[in-house]
Structure 1
Amino acid sequence: MKMMWQRNINKNLLFMKMNYFFAYGAYAPIVPFISTIGKQRGYSAFVMGIALTALQIPSLIVRPTLGSITDVYKCRRFMFLAGEVLFALVVIGLVFIPGATASEMIDDKIVFETMLFWAFFCIIFLLCLGAVIRSIMEDTICVSLLGDNVNNYGRQKVWGSIGYGVVSIISGASVDWFSKGKDYKDYRPGYVISFFFSIMDIYVSTGIKVVQVKKNKTIGGDLKNVATDFRVIIFFISIICFGFLMAFIQNFLFWYLEDITNLYHPEIKPWIKTVQGLFLITQYFLSEVPLYFLSSFIIKRIGHMNVFSLAFLALSIRFMLYSLIKNPIIALSVEILHGFTNALTESAAVAYAAKLSPVGAEGTMQGLIGMALLGIGTPLGNFVGGYLIKSLGSIITFRLMSIVAIIVCIIQATMSLIINRIYRHEDNPVQTS
């Protein structure tokens, strides 16, 4: 006879939580360090901005296409596992790609003529492709498992933040430890940790039950109705703006940290990867975890789109604080805002997309959201961020982004008020025929 607690456990959601933990644990040693790995190789912020922009091509093309294909052919499980396997294989490639260091920045034109840069770029491109494939399937499967309880998405995704935070500090400390006595950072310990978590993720994911609802009507007709809804248009524009601004933090925050360390606190340089690991554990473990748990409550109280207004305000504050602080240890306190600018917003976006989606087109809708965020907003942020940081420096660039964020906040909040006034009597955001 099973115990009461055993009967109350949703096995599928348990495996989903474990998947998020191991998947984001696999990301932690690599993804946040891509720009600084390039910096160590002598690539300028502009070069890395272009590279990071190109890395988002899979998000622009693959996300909506893959979502539609898996909706039509009912192959979410296969593509989910395929993305995980590709990611794991590419991590092995990172271990063996020749390392490179440079004492100063290499001329941009020369960088693009070297085979080593293109080998590095291709490996990272495939890594991002694997991450894109598994992430869209992961969120779609999670939303399907939750059903009418989609606002509880944050309680599943929170385990990704826990994995990311825990692994990031372990990985950062390992890289610093194995780099003792060297004038460069040896990232191979992080790659090994990433590979281990990738294998565990594949193993756990095989236990997740994937159910797809059969669709009798054409998905294209339903999505046409969705795409012409004013609320959906504002939602997508908000997603693009959010991706643009978050790109500066996701891909250039560590660049900024290394800049202020070199300028004001060179004594911290030997342990900079550990410090960066502390930033990640603060972001994902101390900040995101509480906000993921509270996301359902907050979204129900203030609404999906008002969450975006709150996020843009928090982003403006973050950027301004970054531009004023000169000590990386003190800058660590700013990361307590990360949950408002990432976890809460992501939960609102996924839940709102699921609410807008026609039955049977969940994968397509999540793919379109991913395209807006990672295929349009983030690439624009990467390109503009790389150019501005090379031209103005990271500190002035972050101050400028603080002004941009508050302007976006005001405009987006105004649009939300208009939407609430126009559609306040409707329960369902989008009606499909």
Structure 2
Amino acid sequence: MTILEINKKLLLMKMHYFIGIGGYAPFSPFMATIAKQRGYSAVIVGLIFMVQPIPGLFIRPVIGVITDKFKCRRSAFISSTIIIFISIWLLSIIPGTTSKAEINDLDVVKSPLFWLFFAAIILMAMCDTIKNVMEETICTSLLGVNKYLYGKQRLWGSLGFGIFAIISGACVDWYSKGQEYKNYTPAFTISLVCFFCDIIIVSNIEVIQNSSIKYVASDLTKILTKLKVRTFLLWAVLFGFLMAFITHFVFWYLEDLSTIFHPEKKSWMKTLQGMSVIMRCVSGEVLSFFLSSIILRYMDHKTVFSLSFFLFSVDFFLYSTIRNPVWALPIEVINGFTFGLSYSTAISYAAILAPTGSEGTLQGIVGTAICGIGTPIGSIVGGYMFKHLGSLATFKILPIIALILCIAQMTINQLTIRGRKNANVHSQCTLSIETTKTNVDDNNTKF
């Protein structure tokens, strides 16, 4: 392939990541503050984000098995994108977008508008789960033996997310000028346009799925019984747990900083949050996704997770030290690098481990560990901590938690490596004894 020649198969995949992931940026980073503006407490918001990924706990492995067995990845990919478009439209038209005071939790759960809001989020999350499994499976299949290049495809999603976040954040601030509350109509409009375009793109992506290869569940079972795979899934769960605080509670924390220390910045808070996202995605995630192929050549996947947990500790510590929300911008670079490195490691390692024909199933299991187990636990824990300890105290505790997880993960890794070495030595000794015994028996026979 010449320098100017374009791989058209991967070009469409890059366009999908840019539009399909970027389409969430206008509203997804602001969901916690959107819910807060509706009068929902931190506990209610935490419950929403806890329940949101739970359907994915069952959908991810099931959709992987179904699409592997019945060879229907294309249909699942297109259908999920269409339903996401409908879900976002539903979110944009639900009334009751503002409340002057925080509503009592019992009154919230009795409100039909809350359940409509909740249902739209759950429907979108379910279909996003399907879309996520399909896009990762299809992308790694298109890469063939070059699965370590996954990060160079996925970085376009981070680029799109960052660009659309800053555009939509600025549009929301401009559209809400002079109003007491933020009006998110421009954000939802931009998102709907993105997903309409994405439906067209995913309909034209080539899906490689060999119909002659049979799905064999026993091959996958053998993989999942290995200790290294089980510990890898545990680290994926913990990664999801820590990411829940970044994804769902950082903007809440920044708004509290603005309210307490810098109220003059509240008028352009959405622009600042959009700038925060673009710093995270463009400066951090894009760089880490690009470098992940190089890093994974020289570091094993578990060591990369150790580095990620340490960086999480650094992220949370830096957040806990600031009083001006503007200083979150440089911190987001480290934050984005941490996410991109961890995520590309998880996806590429799952693609390497997966038996032929079971790629979608294993991607679904890894996604379940991150988003179906780790993120819900982090969401409800985060909501509880914000409600009872406050956002500032929570972010002082988080660096300690992340550092403890880092030390524990490194310790378990070393114990696992030593155990594997001892097992190899034992098997080699056993083989040597058996070989010696066989030679002696042969000599006795000759004698």
In structure 2, the gaps of 5 or more residues are: 424-447
Deviation at 1:267, TM superposition (A): 0.3
In the other structure, the counterpart of 2:246 is 249
Structure 2 distance, partners of 1:218, 1:321, is: 47
Equivalent residue runs for 1:290-329 within 5 Å: 290-329=287-326
Deviation at 1:424, TM superposition (A): 7.1
Deviation at 1:103, TM superposition (A): 2.1
Structure 1 distance, partners of 2:411, 2:308, is: 14
1:105 aligns with one of 102, 105, 116: 102
Contact 2:172-2:184 within 8 A present in 1 as well:
yes
Deviation track 1:224-251 (CA, whole Å, cap 9, x = no partner) reads 1111100011001000011011101100
In the other structure, the counterpart of 2:41 is 44
Structure 1 distance, partners of 2:336, 2:175, is: 31
Structure 2 distance, partners of 1:410, 1:386, is: 25
Equivalent residue runs for 1:20-419 within 5 Å: 20-214=17-211, 218-419=215-416
In the other structure, the counterpart of 1:13 is 10
Deviation at 1:141, TM superposition (A): 0.3
Structure 2 distance, partners of 1:139, 1:265, is: 41
Structure 2 distance, partners of 1:226, 1:130, is: 27
Structure 2 distance, partners of 1:44, 1:79, is: 36
Structure 2 distance, partners of 1:215, 1:257, is: 53
Deviation at 1:216, TM superposition (A): 5.1
Question: Helix, strand or coil for the counterpart of 2:95?
Answer: coil
TM-score, with structure 1 as normaliser: 0.95
Contact 1:314-1:337 within 8 A present in 2 as well:
yes
Which stretch of the first structure deviates more once superposed, 332-341 or 322-331? 332-341
Letter in 1 for 2:76: M
Structure 2 distance, partners of 1:30, 1:407, is: 33
Contact 2:285-2:338 within 8 A present in 1 as well:
no
Question: Helix, strand or coil for the counterpart of 2:144?
Answer: helix
Deviation at 1:286, TM superposition (A): 1.1
Letter in 2 for 1:369: V
Contact 2:245-2:379 within 8 A present in 1 as well:
yes
Letter in 2 for 1:103: K
In structure 1, the gaps of 5 or more residues are: 427-433
Q: How many residues align?
A: 423
Identity of aligned residues (%): 46
Deviation at 1:218, TM superposition (A): 5.0
Change (3 A) 1:4 1:296: closer
Contact 1:310-1:340 within 8 A present in 2 as well:
no
**Structure exhibiting the larger radius of gyration computed from Cα positions:** 2
Letter in 2 for 1:82: S
Question: Helix, strand or coil for the counterpart of 1:148?
Answer: coil
RMSD: 1.6
Letter in 1 for 2:26: P
Letter in 1 for 2:75: F
Contact 2:68-2:215 within 8 A present in 1 as well:
no
Structure 2 distance, partners of 1:425, 1:149, is: 33
Contact 1:155-1:292 within 8 A present in 2 as well:
yes
Letter in 2 for 1:393: G
Contact 1:215-1:360 within 8 A present in 2 as well:
no
Deviation at 1:420, TM superposition (A): 3.9
Structure 1 distance, partners of 2:150, 2:77, is: 18
In the other structure, the counterpart of 2:427 is none
Letter in 1 for 2:383: G
Contact 2:35-2:45 within 8 A present in 1 as well:
yes
Structure 1 distance, partners of 2:272, 2:227, is: 44
Contact 2:69-2:215 within 8 A present in 1 as well:
no
Which stretch of the first structure deviates more once superposed, 92-101 or 181-190? 92-101
Which stretch of the first structure deviates more once superposed, 269-278 or 395-404? 395-404
Which stretch of the first structure deviates more once superposed, 416-425 or 326-335? 416-425
Structure 1 distance, partners of 2:105, 2:87, is: 26
Deviation at 1:303, TM superposition (A): 1.3
Letter in 2 for 1:378: T
